[in-house]
Amino acid sequence: MTEALIQDRCAIFISDLPNGLSRDKITRLHLAHGLAEPVDFQLLHHSPDSQANCAVFRYADAAAAERALEVLSGLPVEYNGKYWPLRVQPAGIKINPAPIQMPRQVELTKDAIIHVAQVPSEWSAEELRQLHQSLVIEEFQNVKIMPSSDGGITRHAYLQYRTAAAAWSAVKRLSGNLVHVSGGVRQLAAELSAPETQVSGPEPERYLNGNKPRPQAPQGPGAPVAPGPGGPGGSRVPKEKARSAFEPGPNHDPFTLYLSDMPSDFSKQDLDRLHDHLNLRKPKSIKVVFLRLKKGKSSAILRYETTEQAKEALTMLHDRVLLVNEHSGEEQHPRAQYAKRRASDAMYQEEEGSHAGSDHEEEAMYSLPSVYLAELPVNITDNGVRHILQEVGANLEDLVTITFLQQKNKGSHICCLLRYHNLETAEAVANLLHGFRVYHPDDRTRPVRAKVAKHAKNFNPVCTDVYLGEIPNTWTAASVHKFLHQAGVDRGAVQSVKLLSQRPGRGIGVILHVVSAQAADRILEQLSGQELLVRGKSRPLKVRLADAPRERDAEPEERTFPPRQAPAQPPRVIRLQ
Query: How does pLDDT run across 285-317, given as a tens digit for each residue?
Result: 888 776 544 556 778 888 898 888 888 888 888
pLDDT of res. 216: 44
CATH of 253-339, picked from 3.40.50.12780, 3.10.450.50, 3.10.110.10, 3.30.70.330, is 3.30.70.330
Look up the CATH architecture of domain 364-453. 2-Layer Sandwich (3.30)
Domain 461-545 in CATH 3.90.79.10? The answer is no
- Residue 149 clears pLDDT 70, i.e. is over it: no
Amino acid identity of residue 362, one-letter, is: E
pLDDT of res. 368: 75
Amino acid identity of residue 527, one-letter, is: L
pLDDT of res. 152: 65
pLDDT of res. 490: 81
Q: What is the dihedral of CA 414, 396, 249, 273, to 10 degrees?
A: -10
pLDDT of res. 565: 54
Location of each CATH 3.30.70.330 domain in the chain: 4-95, 113-208, 253-339, 364-453, 461-545
DSSP annotation of 183: T
Rounded CA-CA distance 466/544 in Å is 6
Q: What is the dihedral of CA 134, 140, 146, 151, to 10 degrees?
A: -10
pLDDT, average across residues 342-370: 49
Percent of the chain at pLDDT exceeding 70:
63
Question: Averaging pLDDT over each range in 91-105, 361-375, 505-519, 555-569, which range is the top one?
Answer: 505-519
pLDDT digits (tens, 9 = 90+) for 451-492: 887 653 344 444 578 888 878 888 888 888 888 888 888 877
Q: CA neighbours within 13 Å on the CB side: how many for 51?
A: 8
- Other beta carbons within 10 angstroms of residue 509's beta carbon come to 18
Please name the residue ranges forming H helices in 288-437.
307-317, 359-366, 382-392, 423-433
The residue among 501 and 545 whose pLDDT is bigger is: 545
- Residue 164 clears pLDDT 80, i.e. is over it: yes
pLDDT of res. 208: 42
Rounded CA-CA distance 328/146 in Å is 28
Cβ–Cβ < 8 Å for 456, 547: yes
Q: How far is CA 330 from the centre of its chain?
A: 29
Rounded CA-CA distance 256/247 in Å is 12
pLDDT of res. 69: 84
pLDDT of res. 87: 79
pLDDT of res. 436: 92
Query: How does DSSP assign 191-254, residue by residue?
Result: EE-S-SS-B-TTHHHHHHTT-PPPPPPP-STTPPPPP-TTSTT-S---SSPPPPTTS--TTEEE
pLDDT of res. 52: 62
Longest Cα–Cα distance of the chain, Å, equals 128
pLDDT, average across residues 550-569: 50
Please choose, from the candidates 368, 355, 349, 348, the residue with its C-alpha nearest in 3D space to the C-alpha of residue 308: 355
Domain 113-208 in CATH 3.30.70.330? The answer is yes
Mean residue pLDDT of the chain comes to 71
- Residue 98 clears pLDDT 50, i.e. is over it: no
Rounded CA-CA distance 340/253 in Å is 6
Rounded CA-CA distance 196/402 in Å is 37
Cβ–Cβ < 8 Å for 343, 187: yes
Exposed / middle / buried, residue 173 (Cβ in 10 Å: 0-12, 13-18, 19+) = middle
pLDDT digits (tens, 9 = 90+) for 173-212: 888 777 777 656 678 888 886 544 333 333 444 434 334 4
pLDDT of res. 362: 47
Rounded CA-CA distance 89/16 in Å is 12
Please name the residue ranges forming H helices in 367-414.
382-392
Question: Residue 393: CB partners within 8 Å, gap ≥ 6?
Answer: 432
Query: How does DSSP assign 518-559, residue by residue?
Result: HHHHHHHHHHTT-EEEETTEEEEPEEEEPPPPPPPSSPPPPP
Question: Residue 220: CB partners within 8 Å, gap ≥ 6?
Answer: none
pLDDT digits (tens, 9 = 90+) for 32-82: 778 888 887 777 654 444 556 778 888 888 888 888 888 888 777 766 666
Element (H, E) at 335: strand 335-340
Cβ–Cβ < 8 Å for 209, 143: no
pLDDT of res. 432: 92
Domain 4-95 in CATH 3.10.129.10? The answer is no
Helix and strand totals (H; E) in the chain: 13, 30
Element (H, E) at 323: strand 323-324
Give strand pairing partners of 414.
376
pLDDT of res. 90: 79
pLDDT, average across residues 540-547: 80
DSSP annotation of 165: H
Question: Averaging pLDDT over each range in 1-15, 71-85, 426-440, 493-507, which range is the top one?
Answer: 426-440
Distance from the first to the final alpha carbon of the chain: 106
Question: Averaging pLDDT over each range in 86-95, 443-452, 516-525, which range is the top one?
Answer: 443-452
pLDDT of res. 227: 41
Percent of the chain at pLDDT exceeding 90:
2
Amino acid identity of residue 416, one-letter, is: C
pLDDT of res. 547: 61
Q: How confident is the model at residue 151 (pLDDT cuts 50, 70, 90)?
A: low
